[in-house]
Structure 1
Amino acid sequence: MESELFEKIREFARGRLSGGRFAHSERVADTAVLMCRRYGLDEDAGRIAGIAHDICKEIPDDEIISLASMDGLPFEEVEKAKPGLLHGRAAAVVLRSDFGIRDKDILDAVANHTFGRPGLCDLGKILFVADKIEPGRPQSTDEYRENLLSMSLAGAALSVAEENIDYLKKKGKVAAPITVSWVAQLRSGGGI
């Protein structure tokens, strides 16, 4: 059943994403499976979250806003300024409404893969990390991935989130407050 559901979502993603974005999603799914195996989580859930995380990435902003608003949560200021950042929340809505997914961890992981958030589930940490370290990313060498995956899951999430904040700073941008709060929680030992 899980493989049937995965294939349906995979075909949906293939039909909605550019070739490059779809290839990225497949690599994220593969990386998430490896990480689930490493950290003792459900590999099927990782595969589904990985292939689905960007299914709304390339749709128009007004559609993203409409879908994301269905989760009933307020928008962060950064999301209001750049609606494309809501693509994870929109994707979680699509997974629930179009594919009948009720698994709280899959929905949480997909909805929060862009920023992370305090209290993020372990599958969410895996998806956040997998999205940033999949082998197609320029910094993601075998050695880089091996080093990260030798850490605890929370430690790997912290490392990747801090790298992301540093990257944004170098670009003259500011990290989302929710990411900064998550990093503070991880630094204080929350989940490490």
Structure 2
Amino acid sequence: MIDYIEKTEEIRAFTQAHVKKSRYEHSVRVAETCARMCRQYGLDWRKGYLAGIGHDMCKDFSSEELFELAARDGNEISDFEKKKPALLHGRAAAVMLKEHFKVYDPEILEAVANHTSGIIGMCDLTKCLFLADKIEPGRPQSTEEYRANLFAMSLDEMLYSVLEENYEYLIKHNVEIQPGTREMINYYAQQKSEK
């Protein structure tokens, strides 16, 4: 059983010491947003806060450190990730949580490892962290009205809405999109329509 107060404080202190100030402040906002979402959707808010405060703990690590840590999670590093090592920061953070902080909760590890681009079949905690990272109050589009509209939705409706919005933003700004993203959006569109 995790002592959430002690463990969260250890992770918070590590994150604050290893990322720039603006990223730490983002992490606090993500943790608060994720905890709020967990409360709203019937999940353990302490897991959401812990995942949020640690999700970017490795974001400012070197490419070499990210490769070395991510390689220990047992999953292949894709060609896309090799081209863009910064994408590995979630996987690296999940390895750090497990190895350094002794966090073994599979939902927390899944959420942190996949918070950047999401995955097909993600658990509800992963959905909450993915969304919190995209809609926390420091994001330019995230006005009170914007968040109120999203929080009026079911978790899956919110996920689909933000996935589509994020995809359109990447297309509009000519950002190379991770393979499988469109398939994932289609998967969640199907899930939403079946509920």
| Fold in common (TM above 0.5) | yes
Trace 1:1-192 onto structure 2 (pairs within 5 A). Answer: 1-189=3-191, 192=195
TM-score (norm 2): 0.95
Q: Secondary structure at the match of 1:25?
A: helix
How many angstroms does 1:2 deviate by? Answer: 0.7
How many angstroms does 1:56 deviate by? Answer: 0.5
Q: Secondary structure at the match of 2:24?
A: helix
**Pairwise CA RMSD of aligned residues?**
1.2
Aligned length: 192
Structure 2, unmatched stretches of 5+, are none
How many angstroms does 1:150 deviate by? Answer: 1.1
Residues of 1 paired with 2:79 and 2:124: CA distance? 26
Conserved 8 A contact 1:6-1:48: yes
Counterpart residue identity of residue 81, structure 1: K
Structure 1, unmatched stretches of 5+, are none
Residues of 2 paired with 1:39 and 1:149: CA distance? 10
Which stretches of structure 1, 4 residues or longer, exceed 3 Å deviation after superposition?
Answer: none
How many angstroms does 1:73 deviate by? Answer: 0.5
TM-score (norm 1): 0.97
Residues of 1 paired with 2:180 and 2:6: CA distance? 35
